[in-house]
Structure 1
Amino acid sequence: MVELSKWLKAPLPTEKFPPKKAQGCRAGSQSSVVAGYSFFKDGHTLRSDWSSPEFWISSIRKEDSGYYWCEALTASHSVSKQRHQSYIQVQTENQRIPVSGVFLETQPQGDQAVEGKMLVLVCSVAEGTGDTTFSWHRGDTRESLGQKIQRSQRAELEIPVIRESHAGGYYCTADNGYGLIQSEVVNVSVRIPVSHPVLTISTSGAQAFTGDVVELLCEDKRASPPILYRFYHENVTLGSTSVPFGGGASFNLSLTTGHSGNYACEADNGLGAHATGRTSPMSPSCHYAKLRLVRPFHGFSSPSGNRS
């Protein structure tokens, strides 16, 4: 008969263990004639005729809670058994869950970011407990934009003033100690508000005469389309033109004697409020030009029929 000093070395019944950690029990003997070991839980065999006195549960779960014991088999196949049992309880109150479902969103949405405004990158996880390290990166250069450690499933990174150079892909990562998980790449396009449209008046000659057709051209080269251009004469609307793909817009005007005076144009692509020229002559969305109309000189006929 084998004399065992301690059949099962296992955690005390009062101890609790978090899930996902490897746990084991060890059978010890003062004799060298033990041929094999068997391990049991709640009446079920975990391992029989095991050569090692140790048996490990590589990833312990809540359902692994229960009573454990083991047996030793001597070389003569006589079993020495100790009916001492140890209870192992897997702790679930503060259960650590690995992060999963990492997701990046932007506020506003990626296709609605406006130059000069704030862009917020929100990184969230569907699951995950404990302290989580959130990181944000550029998709093209993998440049790190920032990092936060929070005991939550959501974290935000603010870009206070977004520029045209901020356009591109972004992603975030989350890690609470079980491995880093990356989100999908989110593309951000930066829309440019109208700023300083330029109005030019094209005439056929050095001076404009009644009956001439002049072209009013209004253009804001940086503004994102679609752009609506409006044309004014002395704060009276002449007409408007929409440009769906960017660039400038023109308005043709056949001159009459009442067309002398100040002209203005306004550009509006819906990104913020813009005053019109009829209410604010200094509006940055308007540009003014002055047209001086010259009446044609018909002269008179001399008795000889020559014009002087």
Structure 2
Amino acid sequence: MLLWVLLLILGLLSRQAAIAKKSVVEPRPSWTPIFEGELVTLTCHGAGPFKPERAWWYKNQQLQEILPTNIIQTNQPGEYRCQTQGSTLSDPVNLVFSSDPLILQTQYSVFEGDTLVMRCRGKNTGTVKHMAYYKNERKLLDLITDFDKLLSVSQAGLNDNSKYHCARVVSSIWSTWREISKNVDIQVQELFVPPELKTTMSEPIEGTPMILSCETQLSPQRLDTKLHFSFIRDGTVITSGEKKSHVLQIPAIQTKDSGSYQCEAKAMTQNILKKSNYVKIGVKIPVSQPFFNFSAFRAQASVGDVVEFHCEVLRGSFPIQYQFYHENTILENKIAPSGGAASFNLTMTVGHSGNYFCRANNSFSYQFSKNLTLSISDPIRSQTNTAIMGITVALIIIFILTIVVLVVYFKLLRKSGRSSAPSPHRISSISNLQEPVYSNSSSQKELMPIYGNVNPVAENVVYSEVTSKEHGKEANNTKKLPEIKDSPVIYAEVKQKPQSRDSKKTNAADGRQNVAENYENAKLF
């Protein structure tokens, strides 16, 4: 930006320097046309102060001579130019000589704001009776006396460009006649060209510097003219008309500086005011950080839910483009031609969990929103997971209970094995007894099992009976107990003892009888 401004200023200075270096031809007398035979003095002015210096003279674009002085005299018509050392070629001066009896003379150059002066001049020496000046065949001035009076138009402007001529009535001793001059095209020259308003940029960004330049050019013959500049925004002058600088600097342009700009250049002495073209300046506003949200309650949604994503900036020149991101993937592009917010809907899947954000830009600036995290749940999968978890927990509980039961069972089994194991000293062979024998103890102590054969006669049948005796003592007296309903008698096993095939037939009947008797005896207890 600063480089561009520097180049702009240097360019303006170089253009002004180039203009200042152009040579100028000044004729004396400063009237045109002139009568044939009259002598005209031409002076070539270079870039510096008016002083004698070497000059190159051109007539009808042909180099005529190189003189050590900048002044020549001539009575020849033609287009004259000159150039001095250090200066460029001058604009032409056209010398016109006339043989007419009456001519209308004007200045060689008339600029805006100057006083336009014309004079009607004749050769004849008769007595002038009447004189008049005309503009486009319309009489401007009628003189019956004071015929040397000049026609003056003050504050000449471009609207004074017209055809002028004069006429007079002359008399002598012998006659009176009327003389009319040829038409002269008056071209009022611009003192300076209409200014052009230039800016470093037509759409500056808010907060950046901007320079406005009111550029114009003075005529090479009027480089000493003083110009003052004014800058106008939306019809209101924002700088003084006394400002001599043609540059307006705005250090940091703001939105309030937007508008339609124009500049004015005024030649204070000649009171010539010219306005530039209009330049529309729109200050571009960078986008602010966007606000981003979505419609999911507590940042959670389920598979199949439709979630609306919303992105909005509060400041920024439009159009504004919005981009919606999931992680680093663009989901949607939206454009707001007139500014405002943008939204879009998305049906959720399991893969849509993660971070979301949006980006806003307006071709020269951009901003990212803050990240928001969205969690997506799958009800079916959740139910399945819950069921699987429940089953797993149940299996674990069952497994634990099974282990506990097995442990308890084996403990009881081990304890039962220890309690039921027979001790050799506690077992008595009661082979001759027919009745169960009990141990009678006065104190209730732990009962130990006693095993015995009820009917040892039958060799193939064994009947085991469990009776109790006092722990740690042998029963001193054994006797046949009376029939007790709740007698603690346990039938452990009744089985047939293996025997030979020959003895089976002999003892079959006796065995069946003995078993029946034993069964009946056992029921008594």
Where on the TM-score scale, by shorter chain, does this alignment land: which range? 0.5 to 0.7
Distance in 2, matches of 1:58 and 1:50, equals 17
Residue 134 of structure 1 corresponds to 229
Residue 275 of structure 2 corresponds to 182
Kindly tell me the number of residue pairs found equivalent between the two proteins: 232
Identity of aligned pairs, percent? 31
**Contact map agreement 2:288 2:314 (CA 8 A) in 1:** no
Counterpart pick for 2:295 among 182, 202, 215: 202
Deviation, structure 1 residue 285: 3.4
- Which structure has the greater CA radius of gyration? 2
Q: Does 1:261 align with 2:389?
A: no
CA displacement 1:14-72 (0-9 Å, x = unmatched): 9x9985555989xxxxxxxxxxxxx86474899857534862352599xxxxxxxxxxx
Distance 1:185 1:289, change over 3 A: same
Deviates more, 1:223-232 or 1:197-206: 197-206
**Contact map agreement 2:228 2:267 (CA 8 A) in 1:** yes
Residue 144 of structure 1 corresponds to 238
Counterpart pick for 1:289 among 372, 381, 394: 372
Residue 328 of structure 2 corresponds to 235
Deviation, structure 1 residue 265: 0.8
**Contact map agreement 1:233 1:262 (CA 8 A) in 2:** yes
Q: Which has the higher helix share?
A: 2
Distance 1:125 1:43, change over 3 A: farther
CA RMSD of aligned residues (A): 4.2
Residue 149 of structure 2 corresponds to 55
Letter in 2 for 1:139: D
Distance 1:125 1:237, change over 3 A: same
Deviation, structure 1 residue 200: 0.8
Counterpart pick for 2:260 among 148, 169, 176: 169
Q: Does 1:214 align with 2:307?
A: yes
Distance 1:23 1:196, change over 3 A: closer
Residue 94 of structure 2 corresponds to none
Q: Which has the higher strand share?
A: 1
Distance in 2, matches of 1:22 and 1:244, equals 57
1:10-49 correspondence runs (5 A): 19=110, 21-22=114-115, 41=121, 43=123
Residue 72 of structure 1 corresponds to none
Deviation, structure 1 residue 165: 1.1
Distance in 1, matches of 2:124 and 2:247, equals 49
Residue 158 of structure 1 corresponds to 249
Residue 74 of structure 1 corresponds to none
Residue 194 of structure 2 corresponds to 101
Q: Which runs of 5+ in 2 are unaligned?
A: 1-28, 31-39, 44-106, 132-142, 157-171, 174-187, 391-525
Deviation, structure 1 residue 163: 1.4
Distance in 1, matches of 2:117 and 2:359, equals 77
Deviation, structure 1 residue 173: 0.7
What is the TM-score with the length of structure 1 in the denominator?
0.60
Distance 1:189 1:40, change over 3 A: closer
Task: Please identify runs of 4+ aligned residues in structure 1 that moved more than 4 A.
Answer: 16-25, 44-50, 126-129
Deviation, structure 1 residue 159: 1.8
Deviation, structure 1 residue 257: 2.3
CA displacement 1:270-294 (0-9 Å, x = unmatched): 114x4xxxxxxxxx43432222334
Distance 1:40 1:260, change over 3 A: closer
Q: Which runs of 5+ in 1 are unaligned?
A: 1-9, 26-38, 62-76, 79-94, 275-283, 303-308
Q: Secondary structure at the match of 1:258?
A: helix
Residue 65 of structure 1 corresponds to none
Distance 1:166 1:248, change over 3 A: same
**Contact map agreement 1:196 1:220 (CA 8 A) in 2:** yes
Distance 1:23 1:114, change over 3 A: closer
Distance in 2, matches of 1:240 and 1:99, equals 54
Q: Secondary structure at the match of 2:351?
A: helix
Distance 1:23 1:288, change over 3 A: closer
Structure number with greater CO (CA < 8 Å, separation at least 6) is 1
Residue 88 of structure 1 corresponds to none
1:288-307 correspondence runs (5 A): 288-296=371-379, 297-298=382-383
Letter in 2 for 1:199: F
**Contact map agreement 1:163 1:190 (CA 8 A) in 2:** yes
Distance in 2, matches of 1:44 and 1:125, equals 48
Letter in 1 for 2:321: L
Deviation, structure 1 residue 135: 0.9
Distance in 1, matches of 2:296 and 2:123, equals 102
Letter in 1 for 2:375: R
**Contact map agreement 1:22 1:57 (CA 8 A) in 2:** no
Residue 33 of structure 1 corresponds to none
Q: Does 1:123 align with 2:218?
A: no
Distance in 2, matches of 1:212 and 1:218, equals 20
Q: Secondary structure at the match of 1:181?
A: strand
**Contact map agreement 2:354 2:375 (CA 8 A) in 1:** yes
Q: Secondary structure at the match of 2:191?
A: coil
Distance in 2, matches of 1:24 and 1:195, equals 65
Distance in 1, matches of 2:370 and 2:124, equals 88
What is the TM-score with the length of structure 2 in the denominator?
0.37
